[in-house]
Each structure stands twice: as structure tokens, then as C-alpha cells.
Amino acid sequence: MKIKSIETFSNEFVSFVRVRTKNGAEGWGQISPYNADISALVMHRQVAPYALDEDATDIDTLIDRIAEIEFKFPGSYLRRAMAGLDTALWDLRGKLEGKSVCELLGGRPRPFPVYASSMRRDITPEKEAERLVRLRDTYGYQAFKFRIGKECGHDEDEWPGRTEAIVPAIRRALGHNVSLLVAPTVVTPLKRLSRLAGCLKITLSVTLKSRAPAGNLSGQLR
């Protein structure tokens, strides 16, 4: 089943991908968000030329081959573009087999819990706690993620004392029957994270989430 066409429908923030085969099958995918119109250009320049006329059902081989051909471009934009092709091909295959992608990958569709995410640092601990309480009461969330530290702050806080204040404030507001996750995001030293985790885990049952800065592959692996 050969790929006939690859189209993108984009704006600055999102880009959808439509893949069609020569026998009329169709799948939809999505390029990774943010600056998605730039990733769409990468799709047509560095991804689509290697996918056209290839087998639409041999997804892993095709995706690996594109990465190998473009080995001099190991960065984010190529991978963001490849994600659009990858997801479209899985959608296409699911339609052909009458299964969800979850089932194709060996899983079983079923309900699963989700968490509410704050996405903000420019908010006081008290206001953040109020927001999360409203989410719990309105939608029934039983897990919440909020941000600590300062993004790319090199061990600085958004303002002094915010991190140490926000976790207990939210725990008091939500009680002990919900799960809390905190996101330091990037450039928070592991020593400080360990110190925070040691304190918060014992007293507040909080899960820490972090990622190393881009380019720091060893840090990302840890």
C-alpha cells in the first residue's frame, strides 16, 4: 500500500497532516505544536520526499529510515515533523484494521485518570490553591500538577520563597486525598530537587517532575 500524498494544514500553533495512499486509504496526524508552520515546512522538505511511494503499513521502518537519511539534522524540528507522519500512518493503519491505535500497540481501551495542570508561575500560592480547588469541585480531578522554581532559573525561584510556600498551601486547600505533582521544568539543580523531594515526599506526598535543558542528553536520561 503505497503513499500517494502528504498534506499539511497549519497555522503558527498547530499543524494537521493528511496522508493518502494510492488505493484511497487516508489517515490524519498532527505535527508537534508551537511554531507548527515551520515544522510543516520541514515536513515537506525533509520528510515527505522520502515517504512518498513507500509502504504506508511498515511504519517503523519508514520512520527509522527518514531519521537515518537526515542524520545531520538530529534536532527538534525534524522530529516534530516526523511526528505528523508517524501519527497519520498509525491512524491510517487503525482504520484499515478496524482497531484503535491503543489496540494496535497491544493495549486495551479503558478509562484512565487524568490530572489538572496549572501551567503558570506568575500566581501566588493562595490564588493557585483557589484555582485548583475550583477544578476539583467542578470537574472532579483527583490529581494536580503545578509549577515550582523559575523556568530556566538556575536555582532561582519565580520570587523568593514561592516554592516553599506553594506546596503546603495547595496541600492544605485540597487535603490529603488527592495526588500532587510539581514541575520544576528546566535548570533546577539535582541537589536542590533531591532536597525538596526528601522534604516534600515525607510531609506532603508530592511527586517531582523535571527535565534537563535541551542538549543535555545525559541529564535528560537521568
Tens digit of each residue's pLDDT (9 = 90 or more) over 131-147: 999 999 999 999 999 98
- Is the confidence at residue 103, as pLDDT, over 80? yes
In the chain, % of residues over pLDDT 70: 82
For the segment 192-214, the average pLDDT, to the nearest whole number, is: 53
| Cα–Cα nearest to 216, from 182, 188, 183 | 188
Rg (CA), the chain: 22
From the CB of residue 48, how many other CB atoms can be counted at a distance below 10 Å? Answer: 21
200 pLDDT more than 90: no
In this predicted model, what pLDDT tens digit does every residue of 51-91 receive, in sequence order?
Answer: 999 999 999 999 999 999 999 999 999 999 999 999 999 99
3-class DSSP assignment, residue 19? strand
What pLDDT shows up at residue 163? 83
Cα–Cα distance measured from residue 175 to residue 85, given in angstroms and rounded to the nearest whole number:
44
Helix, strand, coil percentages in the chain from 3-state DSSP, rounded to 5: 45, 20, 35
CA–CA distance, 187 with 220 (Å, rounded to integer): 11
Query: At 130, is the pLDDT very low, low, confident or very high (cuts 50, 70, 90)?
Result: very high
Cβ atoms of residues 157 and 116 within 8 Å:
no
